[in-house]
Amino acid sequence: MTDLPKEFVDRIQQDPFVPEQLLESLNQSAPTSVRLHPQRKSFFENTTPVPWNTYGYYLPERPSFTYDPLFHAGAYYPQEAGSMYLEQVLQTLDLPEHPVILDLSAAPGGKSTLIAGFLQHRGVLIANEINRSRAYILSENLSKWGYSNVFVCNHKPSELSALSGQLDVLVIDAPCSGEGMFRKDHQARTEWNLANANTCAERQTDILEEVWPLLKEGGYLIYSTCTFNPEENEQQLLSFLEDGVASRVNLPAFEGMKPDRNDSGYYFFPNQIKSEGFYIAALQKTEPNARKSKPTKAQLQTGLPTDLAQHLTFPTELQFWQEEDKVFATTTFALDFYPQIKNLKFLKTGTHVATANKKNWTPGYDIVYSLYVKWKLSVKKVELTEALQILHGESHQWVAPAGFYLIEYQDQAIAMVKQIGQRFNNMHPTEWRIRHLPK
């Protein structure tokens, strides 16, 4: 086992705020936890509820999620238990009926899927990720979560001025020195040093300054990290409080949570609470926004083509629009909001319903997981072995009428195929496929 960095150990030992036995706990196994989808079925044995999250559970051991088709169906999300406390924060806030929420550094999608479930098709969630490859993973996970009022973009914080003064909630899971990862990721130990921690703190300050104008007056900043360093945590928020531009939000406490040095937020120390290590706080913006001209709305080609509508079932609150050869669906509120920010670089816009070809329509892959818009497709039910083979990207011999089929495992859709002749073609996206099958 890689030793803890000496400078880190020295800092912790010299800080009377940090609970005793923290260093010892970092050499113990990290807990495994999952958050279930609010509207899907999954089953784990011998679980223990995460006290601060409705759908969170601790598992007795870490299974191989990769080889569980229900994981690929979006039935649950493996997530660190401390970060599931975001549900409590969101429930505490006084939000409008349709809040606009930005998850600034959203990949791989733990907090974004939680927010999408919290919204339950109200408002709009914009999930941003600066790293392009990680943004694609974020899009995959949010597509599998199935909500239509979710948009994924790929920007630096400084490039999001189109959202200026429009956010009800800004969630920042800030890039940090990752001290809370020392238990499960020993590489994090080798990469840690004081200089890097200081660089992280400087970057966090820059990010906060860049995105603070995106919040409405009365909007909320939710700030979190997976580190124990106060310079990356409560000290980042101190200037907003001292300058009188924000006020603290009182958050509910659970046994084992420790208030930070300024009573701004809470630490989840792993020797005091069942978490890897986490910090979270919330502020409400009190200063007025600078005057800004009303954002220009782009024109959208709205509506659902008649020849496509006959294939679909959907609730009346869903709205449709078309960009080039693709048709998308979202909620009425989200569709009204989207034209204001359409010029951002989006990887995902609502639910991709269909793509036009020369003679007809090809179902968009989001249809496999969508909770609200359904394509009237036939179903091929499979057991575990074939489910994993299809998720691996295999195509099989099969006698069936030609057309598109949903692949279901335990009554939940996991993939889509196209039957041609005596076999089906596997349509599961290449980058989503399981790399290796179990031996």
Q: Is 226 a catalytic residue?
A: yes
Q: Average pLDDT over the chain, rounded to whole?
A: 95
pLDDT tens for each residue of 21-70: 999 999 999 999 999 999 999 999 999 999 999 999 999 999 999 999 99
Catalytic residue among 153, 176, 200, 226: 226
pLDDT tens for each residue of 342-381: 999 999 999 999 999 988 999 999 999 999 999 999 999 9
pLDDT tens for each residue of 133-191: 999 999 999 999 999 999 999 999 999 999 999 999 999 999 999 999 998 888 889 99
**pLDDT for the residue 40:** 96
Q: Name the pLDDT band for 319 (thresholds 50, 70, 90).
A: very high
**pLDDT for the residue 49:** 98
Mean pLDDT of 417-437: 96
pLDDT at 195 over 60: yes
pLDDT tens for each residue of 239-257: 999 999 999 999 999 999 9
Would the pTM count as exceeding 0.95?
A: yes
3-state secondary structure the chain: CCCCCHHHHHHHHCCCCCCCCHHHHCCCCCCEEEEECCCCCCCCCCCEECCCCCCEEEECCCCCHHHCHHHHCCCEEECCCHHHHHHHHHHHCCCCCCCEEEECCCCCCHHHHHHHHHHCCCCEEEEECCCHHHHHHHHHHHHHHCCCCEEEECCCHHHCHHHCCCEEEEEEECCCCCHHHCCCCHHHHHHCCHHHHHHHHHHHHHHHHHHHHHEEEEEEEEEEECCCCHHHCHHHHHHHHHCCCEEECCCCCCCCCEECCCCCEEEECCCCCCCCCEEEEEEEECCCCCCCCCCCCCCCEECCCHHHHCCEECCCCEEEEEECCEEEEEEHHHHHHHHHCCCCCEEEECEEEEEECCCCEEECHHHHCCCCCEECCEEEECCHHHHHHHHCCCCCECCCCCEEEEEEECCEEEEEEEEECCEEEECCCHHHCCCCCCC
